[in-house]
Amino acid sequence: MASSVCLKRCQVKTRAIPQAREMETASMRTGRLLFGVLALTVAILGSAAAQRSDLPAGPNRDVVSRACQACHDLSMVIAATGLSRDGWNATIEEMISYGMRVAPDEREQILNYLSDFLGSTSPPAADK
């Protein structure tokens, strides 16, 4: 009698194992799908963010890129978009105080590029 009870329990357990495996497999498929969607989303967003960290095309872009990237990523420069010419001038002075080394003619090229391509879009205030 004890062996027949054990036999019935074992049969029930062995029947449940394939169902558990099927459920686990479906759960794993769902997890893989979600992981794939998440990875694709991160890749797309990363690509979009990388595109935004490029400087706009213009004269002296390479001078600005070289000088700024010597110490930090260009995304910091892009983040400051909208400064006035005086604001960019002050920023360049600050960078020089941190150790940026540029010749006077390069400094002027950098200031012109930043104020022309990343400067404020509002016209300068008229003198009273």
Residues 39 and 65 in one domain: no
* Res 124 pLDDT > 70: no
CATH number of the domain bearing residue 94: 1.10.760
What residue numbers bound the domain in which 12 lies? 1-52
Residues 2 and 30 in one domain: yes
**Residue 89 is assigned to a structural domain of this protein:** yes
DSSP designation for 83? B
What is the rounded distance in angstroms from the CA atom of residue 34 to the CA atom of residue 107?
A: 50
Question: pLDDT tens across 71-114, in order?
Answer: 999 999 999 999 999 999 999 999 999 999 999 999 999 999 99
Question: pLDDT tens across 16-63, in order?
Answer: 566 666 666 777 777 777 777 777 677 666 554 444 468 999 999 999
Instruction: Read off the pTM.
Output: 0.55
Residues 47 and 78 in one domain: no
Residues 38 and 2 in one domain: yes
SS3 119: strand
